[in-house]
Amino acid sequence: MADVVFSAKAKLLDGLTTQCESRGFTFTLDEPPSLGGKDMGMNPVEALLSTLGACKCIVTKAFAKNHGINLKSVHIDLDGVLDPDGFQGKNKDAKIGFSKITTKFYIEADNTEEEIRKYVEFVEGNCPVMDTIINTPEFATEIHCS
């Protein structure tokens, strides 16, 4: 199958409030007042955690039947550890992004704990968002001035 290109746009509105758009869907990102924002939406790192969780939920549901998992429900909680001193330039030795992300799966299914653990390993290994985070893609930047 040929590669598929996904596209998204982000436009800074007022202050740090940013409107994000893809395929006609929009959502707003912002920062809390303590970081200079107006708290009009999640901040980008919260959105990243949410995106990772959503992707894992989708993979969990999409492949359950093929793996013999009688899935009744799934929800995922994620925690990311981040030192704000890194991106704020206060500590040059601090990592700018997350130093650790913990995923907590809550799965209800008619399967053994061992079957579910094995299935979660499959989910983690087949989540496109997780793969993108772990195996960083090639990045290219273009600048268009007007």
Q: What is the CATH number of the domain that holds 59?
A: 3.30.300.20
Mean pLDDT of 116-139: 98
Mean pLDDT of 81-100: 93
Shared-domain flag, residues 102 and 146: yes
Shared-domain flag, residues 136 and 80: yes
Indicate if the pLDDT at residue 74 is higher than 90. Answer: yes
Shared-domain flag, residues 112 and 86: yes
Shared-domain flag, residues 106 and 130: yes
Instruction: Write out the residue range of the structural domain in which residue 54 sits.
Output: 43-146
Mean pLDDT of 71-83: 97
Question: Token pair 């989910």 is at which residue?
Answer: 123
Indicate if the pLDDT at residue 3 is higher than 90. Answer: yes
Give the rounded percent of residues in the chain with a pLDDT score beyond 90.
Answer: 94
Indicate if the pLDDT at residue 1 is higher than 90. Answer: no
Mean pLDDT of 30-54: 97
* Cβ–Cβ under 8 Å, residues 22 and 31: no
| Residue count (the chain) | 146
Shared-domain flag, residues 49 and 35: no
Shared-domain flag, residues 112 and 83: yes
Considering its fold, how many domains does the chain have in total?
A: 2
Mean pLDDT of 102-110: 98
Shared-domain flag, residues 136 and 126: yes
Read out DSSP for the chain? Answer: --------EEEE-STT-EEEEETTEEEEE---GGGTS---SB-HHHHHHHHHHHHHHHHHHHHHGGGT--EEEEEEEEEEE--HHHHTTS-TTS-SS-SEEEEEEEEEESS-HHHHHHHHHHHHHT-HHHHHHHSPPP--------
Per-residue confidence at 87, pLDDT binned at 50, 70, 90? confident
Indicate if the pLDDT at residue 97 is higher than 90. Answer: yes
Shared-domain flag, residues 93 and 65: yes
Shared-domain flag, residues 108 and 125: yes
**Tens digit of pLDDT for each residue in 21-38?**
999 999 999 999 998 999
Shared-domain flag, residues 62 and 15: no
**b/e map 113-139, b = 16+ CB within 10 Å:** eeebeebbebbbeebebbeebeeeeee
